Amino acid sequence: MNTQPSLEKLILKKEFSEQISKKLKKFFVEHLPITQFMGLEVESYDGDTLILTAPLEPNINDKQTAFGGSLYNTAVMACWGMIFLKTQEKNIACNQVVTEGSMKYIAPVDGRIRAICHAPSEDELVAFFDHFERKGKARISLEAAVYNDACVMKIDPEIKPAVKFLGQYAIIKN
């Protein structure tokens, strides 16, 4: 039996992911002005991976590399964006916050900032949303990696990121 999704299902998933990612772009513009100052863009979202990018110029520091705060914000927003997108996919209206975050700066970024966040596993998402339904709130941990101007499409252990981020996010019923 063929377990591969049909081309039609893949196209529908891509279209749905594009529609949902437009909601994230709109939210950034309407509610988070820092994203506009940074030039933060949603490059892509396929249902499993969110990629945000920002140009170096508005995020540059005195060393001609990306400002640490901009790197932190880009990573935080990649993870925050992933949870936003997952709640949108489930039609869940909620407040969403970052509750904890830690950053490891590995190398300077001297080009375009590129943050990548992968969705939690299906089991993690099921547990997260079940807890939310039962308790009216839930927490989940997410990771992001920031790359230096590379066209990396996923977090890859073979490619060294410039920054690693681990954050905890909460959703709370409105």
Cα separation, 10 vs 137, whole angstroms: 32
Cα separation, 157 vs 166, whole angstroms: 16
Residue 47 is encoded by which pair of tokens?
A: 């249902």
Q: Where are the domains of the chain?
A: 7-173
Rg (CA), the chain: 16
Q: Which pLDDT does position 65 carry in this prediction?
A: 95
Mean pLDDT (10-residue bins), the chain, 174 residues: 60 72 92 96 93 96 96 98 96 96 95 95 97 98 90 72 96 96
The CATH number corresponding to 7-173 among 3.90.1300.10, 3.40.640.10, 3.30.1490.20, 3.10.129.10 equals 3.10.129.10
Q: Which pLDDT does position 7 carry in this prediction?
A: 65
Q: Which pLDDT does position 151 carry in this prediction?
A: 65
Among residues 80, 79, 75, 68, which one has the least CA distance to residue 53?
75
